[in-house]
Amino acid sequence: MKIIRGGIVYQGDEWKNDIDILLEEGKILDIVPKGKYNEGQAIDADGYFVCPGFIDIHIHGCAGRDVMDGSVDALEDIARFIAGHGTTSFLATTAASSREATRASLKAVAAIMKKQCRGAQILGVHLEGPFINPEAKGALAGQHILPASINGFTDLAGEYEGIIKRVTLAPDVEGARELTGYLVNKGVVVSMGHTAAGYDECIEGIEWGMRHATHFYNAMTPLKHREPGAVGAFMAREDTTIELIADLVHVHPAALKIAVGVKGCSRVALITDSMAATGMDDGEYFLGLQEVVVNQGVARLKDSGNLAGSTLTLDKALRNMVSIGFQVNDVVKMLTEVPACITGVDDHKGRIEKGYDADLVILDKNLYVNMVFIKGNWYGINI
C-alpha cells in the first residue's frame, strides 16, 4: 500500500487540508485524515496540491511524435512526455489523412491499449475529421476530407471501430444526420467542429446528438448579434459541453472568460490540441500531412499561416487560466472531472474518490508538476 500523506487534496470541488490518500492495486483504497494509517510506503505531500490526473481529450502529438506516425513507439513517446506534465490519460487524435494512414494509426492505438505502457493511458481515439466542411478545414488536409456516411465511417474504421470514442463532424455536410445517429447509438461522442453552419443548422446538429464542440471558437462560425453561429448555438444550449485551448493564442483571455462564464466550469474541458513540436525547439514539423512552422512556440501552417494545433501542455493550461483570474479548483475541474464525463469514464477517473483509479498529480505552490501517479505507479517528473 502507498500513502500520499498530508496533501491539500482536491475533492468535491474544494481543497481539503491534511489528507492521506491510500493507494492499492492501482485504485484509491481510501481517503482519510493525516496519520490515521502508518503501514505502507508513505509519500510526503505536505504543503502540496493533490488533484486527479489530467485528461486530454484532444491531442495530436508532442516530443517530435504524432499519432499519425502510426507506430506504437510514437504513441509511447507521447504517453511518457505528457505524463511528465500531469496528463494521466488521453484520446489519441488523428488528422484527416488517407484511409491507409488512418487505419495504421488505429492499429497502433489498438496495440498499445492491449499492453502495459509506461506513461499516460490511452482511452481510445478521437477522429478529427475527415467528415467536415472544407470551407472550415483549418489545419486539416483538404484532399482527405470525405462526405459523411455510415459506410464511409465503417470503411475507415474497419476492425478498429470499437476504439473510436469520439468523432469531430460538421452538421452542414451531406449525410451528417445519419452518421451522427449511428455514432450516438454506438456510444461515440459526436463533436461539432470544422463547420461553416449557421445557428439554425447547429441547433439541428445538437438535436441530432452533436452535444460537444471541438476547440470552441476555432474553425466554426462566430457569434454575431443577428446570426449567432455555432458559437452562439453552444452558448445558448445548456445541454452541451465545449473544449477550449487555453494557450492564450487560439483564444483571447477575455473570450476564455466569456465562454466559461456562460457555460460554467462544469461544462468546459481544457484541451491542448498539441502537435509534434510540443516540448521541442522552434522549427518545421508536420501535423498529419501538413507542413507546420513553429515560431516562438506558435504553430502555423507553412503555406497559409493558419494556426495548426498548439505546443501547449495541460499543466501550462492550468497556470495560464490561473494567471488570467480563474480559481485553481475551477480549472482543475475542467482538466479532470469534465473531460472524464465527456468521454464516459467518470465512473472511475477524474475524481479523488474511494474505488477510483489511482491517477494523481501532485503540484507545488506555483502549480508545477512535482509527482505523477498513474494507476498507483509513481512516475516522478521529466519523464
**Measured between alpha carbons, how far is 375 from 121 in angstroms, rounded to an integer?**
9
**Measured between alpha carbons, how far is 110 from 67 in angstroms, rounded to an integer?**
12
Asked if 273 is an active-site residue, the reply is yes
**Measured between alpha carbons, how far is 364 from 50 in angstroms, rounded to an integer?**
9
Q: List the catalytic residue out of 77, 273, 315, 357.
A: 273
**Measured between alpha carbons, how far is 108 from 219 in angstroms, rounded to an integer?**
28
Residue 142 Cα to chain centre, angstroms:
24
DSSP sequence for 103-153? HHHHHHHHHHHTS--SSSEEEEEEEE-SSS-GGG-TTS-GGG-----HHHH
**Measured between alpha carbons, how far is 74 from 60 in angstroms, rounded to an integer?**
11
Q: Which residues contact 7 (CB under 8 A, 6 or more apart)?
A: 19, 21, 45, 46, 48, 49, 50, 362
327 neighbors 318 (Cβ within 8 angstroms) = no
**Measured between alpha carbons, how far is 167 from 154 in angstroms, rounded to an integer?**
12
Local structure of residue 30 (DSSP, 8 states): E
Which are the catalytic amino acids?
273
